[in-house]
Amino acid sequence: MIAVFNKLDELFEAALKPLVPVLLLICRLWVAWVFFNAGQTKIASWDSTLFLFEYEYQVPVLPWELAAYLGTATELIVPVFLALGFLTRPAAFVLFFFNIIAVVSYPALWEKGFFDHQMWGVMLLVTVIMGPGLLAVDNWLKNRG
């Protein structure tokens, strides 16, 4: 009976293995899109962004104005690296902790957006642990050298 389960597992693994690079690409692009759009929203309404960082967001340690600039820059720059698959693991690592800080800094997220942040966190952890996959600049550079 165990041999049957092992064989079944081997069949599933063989059938699904070609989809791993696609899954890793989807994770990278999805999270990159979300964070990049958030950065574009902040840039589009900079006065509102500054207001939110001063009065709504409770970013630990950093002064609110510095947090606004660093947060917006992070959302506009790091997702590009993630989408391209360039310095993928460090980019995913940065966004993973950025995501945690966003949740901690804005308690209103807990009610409506916490599930999304959990999902993005898992996608980022998958990227940190498994790497960018075959469809990434990192992989191309590794194979060149």
Residue 119 has what pLDDT?
Answer: 96
In tens, the pLDDT along 21-63 reads: 999 999 999 999 999 999 999 999 999 999 999 999 989 899 9
DSSP 118: H
Per-residue confidence (pLDDT) for residue 111, from 0 to 100: 78
All structural domains of the chain with their residue ranges = 24-140
- CB-count burial class (<10 Å; 0-12, 13-18, 19+) for 102: buried
List CB contacts of 83: < 8 A, sequence separation 6 or more.
28, 29, 32, 33, 36
pLDDT band (50, 70, 90) for residue 1: confident
Predicted confidence band of residue 107 (pLDDT cuts 50, 70, 90): confident
Q: What tokens does 143 get?
A: 């194979």
pLDDT at 96 over 90: yes
Mean pLDDT for 62-91 is 97
Band (78; pLDDT cuts 50, 70, 90): very high
